[in-house]
Amino acid sequence: MKRWLGIGIIICICWLVLTGCSGLTKTQSHYTDDGRIIIRVSMINDSSYPQWRAYVENHCPDVYIKWENNRNVVNQVLYQARHEDMPDIVAIRRFESDTTAQLEPYLSELGRQPLAETFKPQYLSPYTRGNNLYWLPAPGVVDGLVANIDVFEQYDVPLPVDRASFLDACRKLDQYGIAVCAMDCKESWTAVQVFEGFSLPIFTELGERKSWLQYSSAGVPQAVRPEVLRQIADRIRLLHSQGILTQEDLDSDTAAVDSMMVNGRTAMFRKVSDELFDASRSNHYAALPFFGDDENSNWLYTYPVFSLAMARHMEDDSALYQAASQVLTVMLSEGAQQALNASGMGLISYNKDIRLPVSSDLERVRPLIEADKCFIRTLNSQTFTTASQALTSLIRDDVDDDQFIHIVNNSLFHVTDPVLVGKSNIAVGHTLDESLCSPAASVVAQVLRQQTGADCAVIDISEAPSDIYKGDYMVHDIQAITRPDAVYRGTLTGSDMARLMDGCILDATTFRAGSIEPVLEYPAFDGMTTIVHKDGTIQGITFENGKSLVDEQSYDVVITSRIYKALASRRDVLTEAFHPEGKNLTQYFMEYFFSKGALPMPRPYFNVQ
């Protein structure tokens, strides 16, 4: 089991209070009281990459950088832009071609910047539309298979070098009763990696690579060619028939695979290189490529830790534009890339003259890095869902080619027509106030509890990721202020409830070794008030009727998937009390908005004493 590295709860709470604020985040001025230019930077979260942030701030002393949090949701930035609240610089890890295409009217064209010339042209193609370049990639993670060298040596099986030797190694290892290749396909990003990664030889052939990237860079609905999807289906079926991809993989999450990894119960598993493969170093590991017919056909599956864009509105102010350009240049400088590279197994730079050091675990794939055989992940807003459906259809349902083609194309290019959901009567921010409460998350938690009829609802504030503005709300707006995360329901005793809340605070103020962010951002809930001491300990819990929590009494509780996964990741037996509901958080919120036509006012749920 992974060890936990505790971060002082007092420090974390004080930091959250200092960095959080109530009300809307809209910046009225781009200048501080002492005349420094303010640059708003919207990041994938507001806690990761502290060394990189410090480097950027130190090298831009005349600029005040205001770090904001977009939770890695492009649609949230688009939602802000449409409400005239566009941040100045955007950093997104989950780069979606269709949503970023909609964001382009709000973005500055970067092709004319000298910075663009520092990149290898092939790595800019996913970010170029027509003759315009709107995004630049930070260094990339290697996302792929990792071999436990000790297991291979124990059973005297050579590490594979191509597809044939990979399949041969899997057959030999299978007879020893261990997991050949444990994949956490319950996580949608792993499903995407499997779907695209094992199919890289298809995509990297010149014609197929062009056609595969075409749907992504164009950002418009169309279909992937049937012959391409048939080849993908054949690859996945082969992996399934060889026992490499199984139903167990579909049901496995990261915590389950990590346990198998550190205990030597799997020969291979999926990992990304911006984290430590195994902080305990209990085994020896080697990163592997996705294999082709021979070693020359092997490729690495990669994606930037985040892609960066600048807002177009700054072009109207030369001082502001120059300041933002300076910040962007520093963010992608060699020193900044070295800072990003400091805490994991190793990143790859997409720039012409920057080589980042990699750990010994990545030594076997160094030749591919140096040869620029790095495929950049391609996504649209439906790819995560599509990949999960695609694997399930082939592994569990055994669909034929025609059914598979229909499932993929129907899901991958699904477009929701604009529908008016309701009119918001309130305007509240999502960042934490002085009581550690997120007003927007309070609204979402209230809606969830009312729609389910539960005694209390517990969510993570990252599942209420945006400010709530006044005015009309379409479906895509609801998707920006809530996440379509699963909802789980269970019955807990009062003592269980106290443990649940204790665990939520622990998960929000603790990093796992090797992780870049806490398990939870911070809990929000409705139906009760939690009295918390400044050191993070819970002093008491009371309900709306004023009654205190009773240890032996039973309570009907709904939680969201982020809370559920946090419980599962630390093997908490409370996980067994919860079972999935039929609707997700966004669906519950949309139904409430449709029926009520208005939203509840936020209310405090923490009482810090």
| Banded pLDDT at 254 (limits 50, 70, 90) | confident
Pull the structure tokens for residue 62.
């005349």
pLDDT tens digits along 447-466: 999 999 999 999 999 899 88
DSSP track, 335-380 = HHHHHHTTSSS--B--BTT------GGGGGGHHHHHTT-EEEP---
177 Ramachandran zone, left/alpha/beta (phi>0; psi -120 to 50): left
pLDDT tens digits along 288-299: 999 999 999 999
Q: Are 60 and 327 in contact (CB under 8 A)?
A: yes
Q: What is the mean pLDDT of residues 2-28?
A: 38
| Banded pLDDT at 9 (limits 50, 70, 90) | very low
The architecture (CATH level 2) of 142-303+361-412 comes to 3-Layer(aba) Sandwich (3.40)
Q: What is the mean pLDDT of residues 89-115?
A: 94
Instruction: Provide the pLDDT for residue 574.
Output: 94
Above 90 in pLDDT, residue 29? no
Rg (CA), the chain: 24
| Banded pLDDT at 114 (limits 50, 70, 90) | very high
pLDDT tens digits along 466-491: 899 998 888 888 888 998 899 999 99
Instruction: Provide the pLDDT for residue 557.
Output: 97
Above 60 in pLDDT, residue 590? yes
Arithmetic mean of pLDDT over the chain: 88
| Banded pLDDT at 61 (limits 50, 70, 90) | very high
**Number of Cβ within a 10 Å radius of residue 465:** 25
Burial 502-512 (b: 16+ CB within 10 A, else e): ebbbbbbbbbb
User: Measured in whole angstroms, how far is the alpha carbon of residue 522 from the centre of its chain?
Assistant: 16
Instruction: Provide the pLDDT for residue 71.
Output: 82
Strands 528-532 and 471-474: unpaired
Residues present in the chain in total? 609
Instruction: Provide the pLDDT for residue 164.
Output: 96
Above 90 in pLDDT, residue 139? yes
Which among 449, 434, 464, 461 is positioned nearest to 544, based on CA atoms? 449
Instruction: Provide the pLDDT for residue 597.
Output: 84
Instruction: Provide the pLDDT for residue 420.
Output: 85
Instruction: Provide the pLDDT for residue 221.
Output: 54
Q: How far apart are CA 331 and CA 329, in angstroms?
A: 5
Check: pTM over 0.85? Answer yes or no: no
CATH 3.30.930.10 applies to domain 427-608:
no
Above 70 in pLDDT, residue 513? no
* Residue 284 burial by Cβ neighbours in a 10 Å radius (0-12, 13-18, 19+): middle
Which among 307, 271, 286, 297 is positioned nearest to 143, based on CA atoms? 271
Q: Which fold is adopted by the domain 29-137+306-346?
A: D-Maltodextrin-Binding Protein; domain 2 (3.40.190)
Instruction: Provide the pLDDT for residue 22.
Output: 35
| Percent of the chain residues past pLDDT 70, beyond the cut | 91
| Banded pLDDT at 48 (limits 50, 70, 90) | confident
Do 29-137+306-346 and 142-303+361-412 show the same overall fold? yes
Q: Are 460 and 522 in contact (CB under 8 A)?
A: yes
List the domain boundaries for the chain: 29-137+306-346, 142-303+361-412, 427-608
| Banded pLDDT at 303 (limits 50, 70, 90) | very high
> Which of 351 and 540 is assigned the larger pLDDT?
351
Instruction: Provide the pLDDT for residue 326.
Output: 97
Q: What is the mean pLDDT of residues 407-416?
A: 86
Instruction: Provide the pLDDT for residue 16.
Output: 38
Instruction: Provide the pLDDT for residue 212.
Output: 61
Instruction: Provide the pLDDT for residue 512.
Output: 67
Instruction: Provide the pLDDT for residue 403.
Output: 97
DSSP track, 445-511 = HHHHHHHHT-SEEEEEGGGS-S-B-SEEEEHHHHHHHS---EEEEEEEEHHHHHHHHHHHHHHHSEE
pLDDT tens digits along 203-219: 776 456 656 655 555 55
Instruction: Provide the pLDDT for residue 222.
Output: 74
Above 60 in pLDDT, residue 321? yes
pLDDT tens digits along 141-197: 999 999 999 999 999 999 999 999 999 999 999 999 889 999 999 889 999 999 999
Q: How far apart are CA 489 and CA 550, in angstroms?
A: 20
Q: Which range among 13-17, 108-112, 319-323, 406-410 shows the weakest confidence by mean pLDDT? A: 13-17
